[in-house]
Amino acid sequence: MREYDLIADWYAGDRHPANGRPELDAFIAALPPRASVLDVGCGNGIPITRALLAAGCDVLGVDSSPRMLDRFQQNCAGTRFFCCPIQTCELGARAFDAAIAWGVIFHMEHAEQRQAIAKVASALRPGGIFLFTAGDEHGSIQGQPMDGVPFRYWSFSVDGYRDLLHEHGLTLVDTHRDKGQNIYYLARKGGGAA
């Protein structure tokens, strides 16, 4: 996304790798050994992709920002990636044990979120898990600028995400808010609550 091209340098220096670490650790602990993971909105690879690689996962990154992916190549050398929106990404017949979309879904308008969730669901193996961050109220808001660049955010309600996930064979098994007010959704393909 164009906005992230504009803030790529600032973003690389302003992130706090400890943010969301309990959620990331729990996600990694739920994965099978050498899990294949689709990292949607992988950005520069820090901290998500790096943590997945350190845990022995086979990661495929997807991001639409060429400048963020320039840094991804430096930070996660040799890790495969696609430069495109997830909605139009050609993943072929590849199936993943898990997918993660940290800090990206809420940048998509509602129709794009529907397409993104459909794409992720189609790429997951049965029993695969999907962790993403999003809002919990239906609508859109103008958020605080990052490094002077304005960002707009879109969200469904929790029930809206539950219904959307269900449409694509995913079951919402958990949702919670962390101390920083980030909202996490965990879904499983074809399964009940964990």
pLDDT digits (tens, 9 = 90+) for 3-18: 555 444 555 565 555 5
Q: What is the 3-state secondary structure (H, E, C) of the chain?
A: CHHHHHHHHHHHHHCCCCCCHHHHHHHHHCCCCCCEEEEECCCCCCCHHHHHHHCCCEEEEEECCHHHHHHHHHHCCCCEEEECCHHHCCCCCCCEEEEEECCCHHHCCHHHHHHHHHHHHHHEEEEEEEEEECCCCCEEEECCCECCECCEEEECCHHHHHHHHHHCCEEEEEEEECCCCCEEEEEEECCCCC
Q: What is the dihedral of CA 114, 117, 123, 124, to 10 degrees?
A: -140
pLDDT tens by residue, 29-79: 999 999 999 999 999 998 899 999 999 999 999 999 998 899 999 999 999
Q: Fold for domain 2-189?
A: Rossmann fold (3.40.50)
What is the model's pLDDT at position 6? 45
User: Residue 140 contacts by C-beta under 8 Å, 6 or more apart in sequence?
Assistant: 109, 152, 153, 154, 155
pLDDT in tens, 137-178: 898 756 665 656 666 778 999 999 999 999 999 999 999 998
Q: Binning pLDDT at 50, 70 and 90, where does residue 181 land?
A: confident
Mean pLDDT, rounded, for 114-132: 97
Domain ranges of the chain: 2-189
Confidence of residue 21 (pLDDT cuts 50, 70, 90): confident
